[in-house]
Amino acid sequence: MLREYAKRVWTRHADALSAAIADDAGVSHDNLACQALARFVLEIPALTRGRPDHRAAVEELFDLLTHGRRPPTPSEPQTRLPAPR
């Protein structure tokens, strides 16, 4: 319950971060890509929590943001998500 509260408090900054990203890009504050990027960035602590190498996990996510998605290499474990219903 405390973790959920902390997440809500943290992610309430999404609008301000999105606006800053939009200002930097020179686009409108309601730009969907800026809003999505802000939300993703704010989820990084939750996504990397408990990883053995926290720094490497954070760097991997920022690499994803910087360079886009690339297929995992064979040495990387692949996690399959359940198919949507």
pLDDT at 72: 75
pLDDT band at residue 82 under the 50/70/90 scheme:
low
* Domain annotation covers residue 73: no
* Domain annotation covers residue 72: no
* Domain annotation covers residue 11: yes
pTM over 0.75: no
* Residue 65 CB neighbours (<10 A): 11
Of residues 38, 41, 34, 42, the one with CA closest to residue 7: 42
* Domain annotation covers residue 28: yes
Helix 14-25 and helix 32-48: axis angle, to 10°?
130
Alpha-carbon gap, residue 71 to 61, rounded angstroms? 14
* Domain annotation covers residue 76: no
Q: Is the pLDDT confidence value at 43 over 70?
A: yes
Q: Which residue has the tokens 């996990």?
A: 57
| Count of structural domains, the chain | 1
Domain that holds residue 49: 2-67
* Domain annotation covers residue 84: no
The rounded Cα 63 to chain-centroid distance in angstroms is: 11
